[in-house]
Amino acid sequence: RELCVCEIVPLVNGEQSNISKHISLLEKYGLVFTRREGVRVLVRANPLVYEILEKVSQALKSLLEDQKKGLEEIERRL
Give me the phi and psi of 36, to 5 degrees please: -95, 140
> Full-prediction pTM beyond 0.85?
no
Q: Where are the domains of the chain?
A: 1-45, 46-78
CB 16 within 8 A of CB 9: yes
> How much of the chain, in percent, has pLDDT values that exceed 70?
100
pLDDT confidence of residue 40: 96
Helix, strand, coil percentages (3-state) for the chain, rounded to 5, are 65, 20, 15
Classified by CATH at the fold level, domain 1-45 comes out as: Arc Repressor Mutant, subunit A (1.10.10)
1-37: per-residue pLDDT in tens? 999 999 999 999 999 999 999 999 999 999 999 999 9
Q: What span, in angstroms and rounded, lies between the C-alpha atoms of 55 and 61? A: 10
